[in-house]
Amino acid sequence: MALRVDPNAERRTSGGFPTTIVITLVVAAAVAVAVLLLTRGGPPQEPAPVLTPEARAYVHAGYLGLSDVNMSAKQNFAGQMLVEVTGKITNTGNRMLKQIDLNCVFRDPSGRVVLRDRVSIVKERLGGLKPGETKDFRLPFDTIPESWNQVLPELVIAQITFG
Q: What's the number of domains the chain is made of?
A: 2
Whole-prediction pTM? 0.68
pLDDT in tens, 17-56: 577 776 777 677 666 666 565 656 544 455 566 789 999 9
Torsion region of 48: left, alpha or beta (phi above 0 gives left; psi -120 to 50 gives alpha): beta
99 shares a domain with 78: yes
88 shares a domain with 18: no
Q: What are phi and psi of 129, to 5 degrees?
A: -135, 110
Residue 2 lies in a domain: no
Tell which residue, 162, 159, 151, 97, has the closest CA to residue 126. Answer: 97
pLDDT-derived band of residue 141, with 50, 70 and 90 as boundaries?
Answer: very high
Q: What is the pLDDT of residue 14?
A: 52
End-to-end C-alpha distance for the chain, whole angstroms:
96
* Structural domain boundaries enclosing 76: 53-162
Residue 3 lies in a domain: no
* Strand runs labelled E in 1-153: 64-75, 81-91, 97-107, 113-122, 134-141
150 shares a domain with 111: yes
